Amino acid sequence: MPKPFQISRRSFIKRSSLAAAATGLPLWFVERDSALAAEQGAATPRSANDRPGLALIGCGGQGSGDMRGASRFGNVVAVCDVKEDAVERAVKSFSKDGKAPVGYSDFRKLLERKDVDIIVNGTPDHWHSLINIGAARAKKDIYGEKPLTLTIDEGKQVVRAVRDNRIVFQTGTQQRSDRRFRLACELVRNGRIGKLKTVEVFVPAGLREGPFATDQKVPAGLNWDLWLGQAPRVGYQKERAGNTFRWWWDYAGGPVTDWGAHHNDIARWAIGQDGPISVEATATVGPIQGGYSTCKEFEATLEYGGDVRQIVKTTTADSPFGGILDPKGQRNGVRFTGSDGWIWVNRKDLMASQEAIYLDPLPDNAIRLETSNDHMGNFFECVRSRQDPVAKVEHGHRSAVVGHLIIIAMHQGRKLQWDPAQEVFTGDSSKDANVHLAREMRKPYDYSYVS
């Protein structure tokens, strides 16, 4: 039986002070978080039998990294990838105590295993939805990488599958478990910068390369047709596979949905609304014919209720923000501007127009956002409690919608009106825009593939 948690007040203050110094966060906020963590307990397994069976689908760098985090809480029993060498590496990497996970090339066969309780989905973006839907229907809890989907319609389908099958789903937007971002959002929600007026999201620019050779040979051990999945059938190009998949419209959204998926989620969290009511966007630096098909640079403006405006734009190595936005010249982050000041936050820093904005404690009756300081740990705690995690499926969907709206507006070349409740375009040009809520899925890789 585990011993009850005990810590002296002196030790508590010392630990909180060290944590505050290490993170640069105010002591009042760290103390509050530490007290809450002590009250809730750690997310570690409670016994040797409290280790669910884990399976990884998509054994690349991001998926394998996610699984290393998940393996703190469970046992890896299966791995799956369309690349034979990726499966072999994953089997070797996650073998432990003489036990090796079983390798698969077809994730549907993996989902049939009774000893798999949890799926870690680290596949390219265009495979996220079908795997998540299939896993939900198989009654597996899921940790799914961002962005949640390739289209808005897919998001609706994923949300329905998760809720109909009553599984726990955590979106891999781990900034929701970063105390800097949560503090920034709480300060905005509680009016520390007055009435919120503008949210500026800055993301690194994408790649602009090509043209690429079209007569490339499919590597041995790669099922190219399965890798393509729902996307149009094309000949193999090494530039399409690997981490560079994100620079092709067929499989992802380029810079819009890469870093954009993280920062747009934080923007929406602070704004506190389901989504915008209008969007317009322009690709300021487009692709090269025969090369990566996503834009390299773009700028978008989204309007929310209450006269809040969000601007999303790319930055490059030679275009830092300067002294007003980011004194350290960092290339990505979120800036909130209100009637009484501003807050800047990214994964390294939290700054404000006046230190009192974040140094002065919020009152006891202030708005509190969902608390998590360990994204994977939060997921596993919710697997036990059957409660929603900090980045539940609806959050993943609605934040992904922001990126999808930008892409649709960019391709339409005009300002579009959006109904965030009904999730449809309205007004002028709505008929043409609503066509892009979904994409044609190449058979057999449509929704019936996981029915």
Q: Is the Cβ–Cβ distance between 401 and 423 less than 8 Å?
A: yes
Enter the tokens of residue 76: 């890896």
What is the per-residue DSSP string for 293-362? Answer: -S-SEEEEEEEETTTEEEEEEEE-TT----TTT-TT--S-EEEEEETTEEEEE-SS-EEESSTHHHHSPP
Q: How far apart are CA 57 and CA 55, in angstroms?
A: 7
**Cα 113 off chain centre by:** 27
Q: Is the Cβ–Cβ distance between 242 and 123 less than 8 Å?
A: no
Mean pLDDT, range 206-213, rounded to an integer: 96
> What local confidence, expressed as pLDDT, does residue 46 receive?
58
- How many Cβ atoms from other residues are within 10 Å of residue 14's Cβ? 11
> What local confidence, expressed as pLDDT, does residue 178 receive?
97
Contacts of 358 (CB under 8 A, 6+ apart): 26, 29, 183, 187, 192, 343, 350, 352
CA angle in degrees (0–180, nearest 5) for 217-218-220: 120
> What local confidence, expressed as pLDDT, does residue 33 receive?
86
The single-letter code of the amino acid at 319 is: S
- Ranking 33-42, 298-307, 317-326 by mean pLDDT, the lowest is 317-326
C-alpha atoms less than 13 angstroms from C-alpha of 95 in its C-beta half-sphere: 10
Q: Is the Cβ–Cβ distance between 339 and 195 less than 8 Å?
A: yes
Top-confidence residue, 20 or 451: 451
Q: Read off φ and ψ for residue 321, nearest 5 degrees.
A: -70, -30
pLDDT bin (cut points 50, 70, 90) of residue 251 is very high
Enter the tokens of residue 170: 């955590």
Enter the tokens of residue 441: 């899925």
Contacts of 70 (CB under 8 A, 6+ apart): 54, 76, 118, 120, 143, 376, 379, 380
The structure's pTM equals 0.92
Counting beta carbons within 10 angstroms of the beta carbon of residue 67, is it exposed (0 to 12), middle (13 to 18) or buried (19 or more)? buried
CA angle in degrees (0–180, nearest 5) for 164-166-172: 105
Residue with tokens 């809450």: 36
Of 193, 217, 154, nearest to 447 by C-alpha is 154
> What local confidence, expressed as pLDDT, does residue 230 receive?
98
Mean pLDDT, range 371-387, rounded to an integer: 97
Quick one: what percent of the chain has pLDDT higher than 70?
Answer: 89
Counting beta carbons within 10 angstroms of the beta carbon of residue 415, is it exposed (0 to 12), middle (13 to 18) or buried (19 or more)? middle
Counting beta carbons within 10 angstroms of the beta carbon of residue 232, is it exposed (0 to 12), middle (13 to 18) or buried (19 or more)? exposed
CA end-to-end span of the chain, whole Å?
43
Contacts of 239 (CB under 8 A, 6+ apart): 209, 210, 212, 291, 292
Mean pLDDT, range 114-136, rounded to an integer: 98
Counting beta carbons within 10 angstroms of the beta carbon of residue 131, is it exposed (0 to 12), middle (13 to 18) or buried (19 or more)? buried
> What local confidence, expressed as pLDDT, does residue 24 receive?
76
CA angle in degrees (0–180, nearest 5) for 346-256-157: 110
**What mean pLDDT, rounded, does the chain reach?**
91
pLDDT at position 321 over 80: no
| CA Rg value for the chain | 22
**Cα 353 off chain centre by:** 28
Chain segment 357-369, per-residue pLDDT in tens = 999 999 999 999 9
Helix axis angle, 393-412 relative to 259-271, nearest 10°? 110
pLDDT at position 8 over 90: no
pLDDT at position 394 over 50: yes
- Ranking 103-112, 172-181, 277-286, 311-320 by mean pLDDT, the lowest is 311-320
> What local confidence, expressed as pLDDT, does residue 50 receive?
83
Chain segment 149-177, per-residue pLDDT in tens = 999 999 999 999 999 999 999 999 999 99
Give the chain's count of helices (H) and strands (E): 14, 15
Chain segment 17-74, per-residue pLDDT in tens = 544 545 679 999 999 888 776 666 555 665 556 899 999 999 999 999 999 999 999 9
pLDDT at position 120 over 80: yes
Quick one: what percent of the chain has pLDDT higher than 90?
Answer: 85
Of 413, 439, 437, nearest to 426 by C-alpha is 437
Which homologous superfamily is 179-361+394-450 in? Dihydrodipicolinate Reductase; domain 2 (3.30.360.10)
